[in-house]
């Protein structure tokens, strides 16, 4: 019998605001000035907070941290169309988005200072804590959106963020497959920042895009300029609208770039050229967003200075709050190794406290 074609597939690419701040009027989303300014504020705050935390880490005042510099549009813009009762599920490189979901500024410092209290968002119980294990969070997002349908929450959806490196994990395949089979209201956002620590995108997968994997799972897929706030917002807004109407999940590949190191334990100069970084600096999402706002007549240098002053003040207040808190138990990590107390763990706890007492006495 002759071969026959079972289907023809393609993947769309979306850019609305280019590197120079020029906007495609036909594709420009209808966002209010208030929402546009809110988006820029959180993108800017995320950038400034990252710079401040980098200094704190280098001074030994917090532990190892990942940085989101250069990727602000990919997660802030994707969070903008969400509702409070939607489920937000992230990994560890979405700082500004967590702040948009009401997470206190001090939480990030607590978390990277080693305090589990930093994982709790008192202002939104549908925002999950940081997930470090690659790909694990996608399964949570699918389960949450599936459960919301079982509970009759017809207008609730979930969003999940992951990286290009995590896309190779088995958990990611299982989550995408189940989401499609069960037709869950889930929005998957892959932040393709070109590097999985030292593994470049080119050898992560032979596929031309990560977005095209959606075809294999039978779901909607699209690739967007991840440094274009308007494109990311539009693609995510459409995905949420489809999810709420019962039209299933969407995979969005946001093509962006990690401007800094993977974490502060990493040295990117060992595996990538400065020329590559320079090329992506010209595509900075904050620069093009600022120009867009200025061209619309709703932003200027005076407002920029006011925002910078306000953000600096808020960040410094968070640092002061973090470093002034003394109520934490130094031996708290020993509390939850097992569900109940264990003789060996208690022996280790006592040795730890004894060493701590000696260090305090000799300080």
Positions annotated as catalytic residues are: 258, 262, 271
Q: Where are the alpha helices (DSSP H) in the chain?
A: 33-58, 72-79, 95-100, 105-112, 136-150, 170-182, 213-217, 229-244, 274-281, 285-295, 301-324, 343-362
- In this structure, are residues 93 and 53 in contact, taking their beta carbons and an 8 Å threshold? no
The dihedral formed by the CA atoms of 145, 148, 150 and 151, expressed in degrees to the nearest 10: 170
- In this structure, are residues 233 and 29 in contact, taking their beta carbons and an 8 Å threshold? yes
| Torsional sign, CA 259, 261, 262, 263 | negative
CA–CA dist 298, 290 (Å, integer): 10
Spell out the long-range contacts of 352-356 with Cβ–Cβ below 8 A and sequence spacing 24 or more. Answer: 356/330
HEC-encoded secondary structure of 51-103: HHHHHHHHCCCCCCCECCCCCHHHHHHHHCCCCCCCEEECCCCCHHHHHHCCC
């Amino acid at each position: 019998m002759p071969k026959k074609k079972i289907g023809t597939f393609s993947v769309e690419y979306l850019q609305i605001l280019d590197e120079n701040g020029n906007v495609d009027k036909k594709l420009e989303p209808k966002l209010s000035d208030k929402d546009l300014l809110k988006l820029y504020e959180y993108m800017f705050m995320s950038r400034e907070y990252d710079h401040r935390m980098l200094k704190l880490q280098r001074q030994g005042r917090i532990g190892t941290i990942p940085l989101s510099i250069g990727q602000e549009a990919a997660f802030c813009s994707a969070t903008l169309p969400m509702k409070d009762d939607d489920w937000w599920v992230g990994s560890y490189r979405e700082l500004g988005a967590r702040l948009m979901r009401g997470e206190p500024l001090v939480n990030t410092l607590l978390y990277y200072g080693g305090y589990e209290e930093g994982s709790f968002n008192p202002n939104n119980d549908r925002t999950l804590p940081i997930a470090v294990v690659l790909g694990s969070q996608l399964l949570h997002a699918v389960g949450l959106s599936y459960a919301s349908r079982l509970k009759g929450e017809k207008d609730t959806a979930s969003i999940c963020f992951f990286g290009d490196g995590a896309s190779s994990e088995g958990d990611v395949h299982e989550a995408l497959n189940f989401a499609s089979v069960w037709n869950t209201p889930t929005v998957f956002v892959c932040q393709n920042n070109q590097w999985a620590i030292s593994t470049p995108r080119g050898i992560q997968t032979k596929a031309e895009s990560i977005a095209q994997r959606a075809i294999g799972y039978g779901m909607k897929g699209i690739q967007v300029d991840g440094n274009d706030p308007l494109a990311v917002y539009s693609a995510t807004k459409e995905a949420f609208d489809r999810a709420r109407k019962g039209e299933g999940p969407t995979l969005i590949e946001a093509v962006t770039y990690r401007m800094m190191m993977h974490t502060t334990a990493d040295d990117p100069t060992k595996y990538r050229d400065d020329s590559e970084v320079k090329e992506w600096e010209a595509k900075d999402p904050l620069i093009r967003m600022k120009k867009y706002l200025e061209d619309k007549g709703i932003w200027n240098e005076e407002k920029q200075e006011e925002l910078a002053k306000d953000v600096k003040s808020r960040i410094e207040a968070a640092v002061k709050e973090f470093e002034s808190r003394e109520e934490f138990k130094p031996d708290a990590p020993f509390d939850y190794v097992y569900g109940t107390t264990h003789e060996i763990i208690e022996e280790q706890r006592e040795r730890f406290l004894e060493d701590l007492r000696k260090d305090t006495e000799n300080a």
